[in-house]
Structure 1
């Protein structure tokens, strides 16, 4: 399938900057009328579809804003995490008198850069993208010129506002909790290539060790461990010595580590402590319940809508990355832990 025409394609044809193309198509000042006409002509020739601005008369200024929420089918399936963010977005938009349009992106649309029809069939004022789809796909969405805010994802290649968890500081707090219990042999487990959040949690783990002058033990850092029973079993098989504590990149890894430790007859927390991240359902149904870093998912959605509304009214302001705090929820998996010698 032919790749969708982008602003960069128009810029390349006319040998001008993409920013000039955006200014010309959006009706913003900064380009001559001659350039504006040339850009529009090439855009029409190439079949570029651009979201035209609303006429700024009083009736349209007072009309409800329309917001599109876009996510991969996989992200929408993670109801315990992203489902809560979606519900908070829905409530916040409703409270503000705004309309919500939802689009799930399948693999075919992702691979062929097929944007949702709602971006052209409806007058969309702003876009929220939940989690990751692909860098190319999100870039194509941003290039529509519609104000866009990313939720729980960012990249050096994506020029859009992002609402993020403060993963580094959250991980730092989690590992510091283990250190303050007396642990020095602390394992890290997670798949850092899966998400920028997991890479940042590894960085927070290392920051805490460095702060307390604990040299990282490379035998205890499992940064390519997928969240599956088979993968986690391999992790345990590769251990030469047992750590006294585990920092798990999310609750799924925490649940698996807890289960495998118990299968080996290792008592939690008497012999080994376990701490995870997200404070989701798995950390709460585990036996024992797992200490975890809590993320306020309701605030995540509220802040995303707030930032999108600001961005709609301030299109030319610099890009923002907003970090939301986490909170340590102490449960039985670290209570009265045995201190290492």
Structure 2
């Protein structure tokens, strides 16, 4: 009978500690990317079986993970990059990834993908928001489930999230440190809990710096359309000197709308957004933005799901990933009175 390969066997072969092997195989921090890849490759060559996979094989399953998301979610490059990271991590653990998009009709009728209905997957990742009712039906199947970039008080499941409040706080704090006091918020807080949390971070930064929010500068139902944003700008009696946008799309379109109306960025008005995706990088000028480590997002999502598969009775947890601010040309010192947004 073939001897079962252990983590210690891998450690002995590579001349590293067993703890390093464990960290690498479980996707945890503490080892370099080079070491992690080396351990994963050695595990494959030696025939090491992950604990979750061994347990599943005893139930006659082959080691499958399901990933579902709405059609809209899969259309965003932001989430596509998280998906690619998830795929890499699942494959590295010797399992297969099954993907299914959920359209509006399936969402409304609560129609689950066949691999969930037939329970042919051992764990499920739900990328972003579908609907709370739909997510609840998935959870009720009893298959271990982890939410990625979504949570809600009524949903009892593990979640991997961006620390949206603190990220937004960093962005607004940056604007305040540049001398801005008239700072607008732009985002649809009803679209996603993430956007509402970014709005809360915006308010927190203003409050902690003794700045009273200006009601006319708060647009909590904003849409990503240049004409609609131009209408916002034209309707203001007084112009803000800075705009904080809940995502890069809004940042891109408000930049375009401001330029169309003759505002100089950042001399007269600054723009800062959240996500640091492609739109922030191709805007003119390039947009200062809160950056999210999307590879880490995918790695933590898979790590959390595998932990849940091994620990089905542990309390649910929410993992918050920190972010950082990338400063670019779209943010500058608050204008003097003669260079204010009202002076074009």
In structure 2, relative to structure 1, the CA distance for the partners of 1:272 and 1:119 (3 Å cut) is same
Alpha-carbon distance in 1 for matches of 2:59, 2:130: 32
8 Å Cα contact 2:248/2:279 also seen in 1: yes
**Deviation sequence 1:25-79 (CA, Å, 0-9, x none):** xxxxxxxxxxxxxxxxxxxxxxxxxxxxx9x87952897521100111111111x
Give the superposition deviation at 1:336: 5.0
8 Å Cα contact 2:187/2:223 also seen in 1: yes
Match for residue 159 of structure 2 among 159, 162, 176? 162
Alpha-carbon distance in 2 for matches of 1:131, 1:58: 27
Aligned to 2:177: 180
Give the superposition deviation at 1:100: 0.6
Map 1:267-306 to 2 at 5 A: 267-306=264-303
8 Å Cα contact 2:180/2:333 also seen in 1: no
Match for residue 77 of structure 1 among 75, 78, 88? 75
Alpha-carbon distance in 2 for matches of 1:216, 1:176: 14
Alpha-carbon distance in 2 for matches of 1:274, 1:58: 50
RMSD (Å), alpha carbons: 2.1
Alpha-carbon distance in 1 for matches of 2:265, 2:55: 65
Give me the TM-score of the superposition, normalised by structure 1: 0.80
1:124 aligns with 2:121: yes
8 Å Cα contact 1:187/1:243 also seen in 2: yes
Aligned to 1:111: 108
8 Å Cα contact 1:291/1:334 also seen in 2: yes
Alpha-carbon distance in 1 for matches of 2:333, 2:197: 28
Give the superposition deviation at 1:264: 1.4
Aligned to 1:209: 206
Map 1:59-70 to 2 at 5 A: 60=58, 65-70=63-68
Give me the TM-score of the superposition, normalised by structure 2: 0.80
* Structure 1 unaligned spans of 5+: 1-53
Match for residue 226 of structure 1 among 223, 227, 234? 223
Task: Say how many residue pairs are matched.
Answer: 287
1:97 aligns with 2:94: yes
8 Å Cα contact 2:56/2:63 also seen in 1: no
8 Å Cα contact 1:181/1:339 also seen in 2: no
1:151 aligns with 2:148: yes
8 Å Cα contact 1:225/1:235 also seen in 2: no
8 Å Cα contact 1:182/1:339 also seen in 2: no
Aligned to 1:190: 187
Aligned to 1:328: 325
Query: Which stretches of structure 1, 4 residues or more, deviate above 2 A after TM superposition?
Result: 56-65, 120-123, 335-341
